[in-house]
């Protein structure tokens, strides 16, 4: 099944996907891409979550598809960032991100590794200022912690 037009762009009809842990594998298949893209603007985090208020609808693990160069559409990265920033970006002046918007304290803390993967995605797409903001923040936090980069930080 080919869901691409002559410009090699996918036009999905649905907003259904697999878990973020399998997203990178599925993006190598056209049908996977078709079912993961929502409104041609962002990639949803979990197949079972249908509402934006569902706990894993937004999953920062999805950034891996951008950080690994599986998608090279800068417009999609930027619209994905706009959508995910509303839910997963830490409120206030800190530039970091949480993994999931849930009541689970493990999932709703700042995930430093995700910050680094998002920074990598920004670098791949030429967004140097956005990458620097995250990289400098992680570096500053590590500097005051014996140069140790933690798995996550309390927000």
- 127 occurs within a structural domain: yes
Q: What is the pLDDT of residues 86-145, one digit of tens each?
A: 999 998 888 999 999 888 888 889 999 999 999 999 999 999 999 999 999 999 999 999
- 152 occurs within a structural domain: no
71: domain range?
Answer: 20-145
Q: What is the total count of domains within the chain?
A: 1
**Cα separation values, 46 from 38, 81, 103, 129, Å:** 12, 17, 17, 30
- 114 occurs within a structural domain: yes
- 33 has a pLDDT exceeding 80: no
Cβ proximity of 124 and 102 under 8 Å = no
Q: What is the pTM of this model?
A: 0.77
- 150 occurs within a structural domain: no
- 129 occurs within a structural domain: yes
- 11 occurs within a structural domain: no
Sign of CA dihedral 145, 111, 84, 42: positive
- 12 occurs within a structural domain: no
């Amino acid at each position: 099944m080919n869901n691409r037009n002559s410009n090699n762009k996918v036009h999905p009809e649905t907003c259904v996907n697999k878990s973020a842990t399998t997203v990178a594998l599925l993006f190598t298949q056209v049908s996977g891409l078709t079912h993961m893209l929502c409104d041609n603007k962002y990639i949803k985090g979990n197949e079972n979550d249908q509402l934006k208020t569902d706990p894993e609808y937004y999953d920062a693990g999805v950034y891996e598809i951008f950080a690994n160069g599986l998608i090279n559409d800068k417009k999609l990265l930027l619209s994905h960032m706009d959508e995910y920033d509303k839910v997963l970006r830490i409120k206030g002046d800190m530039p970091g991100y949480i993994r999931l918007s849930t009541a689970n304290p493990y999932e709703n803390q700042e995930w430093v590794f995700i910050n680094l993967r998002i920074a990598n995605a920004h670098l791949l797409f030429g967004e140097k200022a956005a990458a620097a903001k995250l990289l400098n923040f992680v570096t500053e936090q590590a500097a005051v912690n014996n140069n140790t980069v933690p798995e996550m930080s309390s927000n």
